[in-house]
Structure 1
Amino acid sequence: MNTPSHFVLNLVLLGRVAAPSANGAIALGAILPDVPIFVFYAAAKLRGLPESEIWSTAYYEPFWQTLVAIGHSLPLALLGLMTSRAYGWHAGTFVCLSLICHSLLDLPVHNSDAHRHFFPLNDYRFISPVSYWDPNHYGHIAAPVELLLVLAATPFFFALTRSLPVQGIVIAIDLLYVFGYCRFYLLAPSGN
């Protein structure tokens, strides 16, 4: 699932049970697992690697895969959740709940790029038959479903926050998703 989708969906799913003071923690937990991927991509681009090598070879280097696994680890997020609850750390509780939500939303839509959600207990990767992006694995279906989920969640998101800058970010996400979907799926040449 795309990182902006986690931002919107996690806030809608978890923000309805939390006080508005938890929205920042939920947003952090929604985005945090993918930060190593953004850092990796920036480092790969600085090294001058072509896109094909970035995503076919460099992304699978053990160092980067370990960082990505840490961010997507359900056992580590559960440990953080139990620790936060034990010490009464409200923000930590919602960061960890959002980390868990991120991973659970990723599980059904990652194929060749599946994460090690049970790291460090084991290196198992659930290889879903569905990919959120790859048309060879129903990406042409998963992408519009993700788009529709985010668009449907937007009114609920607006009910959770009155912050105009944050609402503007969500409107920008919606517009980028609609534009991206039209560009890559509706306007793409046949056979892609």
Structure 2
Amino acid sequence: MNTPAHLIFGAAAFARPGAPWVTAAALAGGLAPDCSLYLMACWHLFVLGTDPQTVFGQLYFSDSWMRVFRVDNSFVLWGIGLGVALWLRSGWAIAFTGAALLHLAFDFPLHHDDGRPHFWPISDWVFESPYSYWDRMHHGQFVGLIEVGICLILLGYLGYRFKGTMARIMIAIGVITQIVPGLMWSAIF
């Protein structure tokens, strides 16, 4: 799934009105498994000036990048983290690790040839799903529409639960992240 969708799903599942640390942790957990990708890609694209085709066509699939992805995309490691958070009864840590696990649960079935080793350190196996959230060769156009539709419903749910001005601004930004790319690509193609 697209990263904004992960934040929306994480917030819908774990954010709590009146608990800003829990809500922030839910958003951070929804983002956490993608952070290494953003950091490494931005370093190569904007600091080193590496060609985007090299970054996303070669480096993304390289052993060195997969060694990083297997850590921050591990069901095993995030599951241990959630277990510790539950043991400690820490609301923010449960929201953080729970949202990260939710992120992985939706990434796992929606990556065809760009998946990650989600079961490290037990295994380096990568699931090759018949579905993709972006690749039209693997139903990406339909999966993407479903993703946007569910995100808009979840944003409506969040709007019902959160009444503050800052929350409404964040929800509006969420709506924009879901609608604008579709309109932009429709205009281009």
After TM superposition, the score normalised by the length of structure 2 is 0.90
The amino acid of 2:27's aligned partner reads A
RMSD: 1.7
**1:41 Cα deviation from its structure 2 partner:** 1.1
Q: Which amino acid aligns with 1:132?
A: Y
Length, aligned pairs only = 186
Q: How does 1:99-110 map to 2 (within 5 A)?
A: 99-110=100-111
Task: Give the distance between the partners of 1:123 and 1:100, measured in 2 at CA.
Answer: 18
Deviation (angstroms), 1:20: 4.3
Alignment of 1:26-105 (within 5 A): 26-45=26-45, 46-105=47-106
Aligned-partner residue type, residue 44 of structure 1: H
Deviation at 1:19, TM superposition (A): 6.5
Alpha-carbon shift at residue 55 of structure 1 (Å):
0.6
Which runs of structure 2 are paired with 1:1-192 in the superposition (5 Å)?
Answer: 1-15=1-15, 20-21=18-19, 22-45=22-45, 46-184=47-185, 186-189=186-189
Q: Partners of 1:69 and 1:162 in 2: how far apart?
A: 38
CA distance, structure 2, for counterparts of residue 163 and residue 49 of structure 1? 42
Inter-partner Cα distance in structure 1 for 2:48 and 2:111: 27
Distance 1:62 1:78 in 2: 24
Q: Indicate conservation of the 8 Å contact 2:155/2:174, yes or no.
A: no
Cα distance in 2 between the residues matched to 1:106 and 1:163: 31
2:2 maps to amino acid: N
TM superposition score normalised by structure 1: 0.88
Identity of aligned residues (%): 19
Q: Per-residue displacement from partner, 1:101-157 (whole Å, max 9, x unpaired)?
A: 111011121111112111111011111111111111111111111111111111111
8 Å Cα contact 1:143-1:181 kept in structure 2: no
Structure 1: 5+ residue runs without aligned partners? Answer: none
In structure 2, stretches of 5+ residues that fail to align are: none
| Larger mean Cα displacement after TM superposition, 62-71 or 126-135 | 62-71
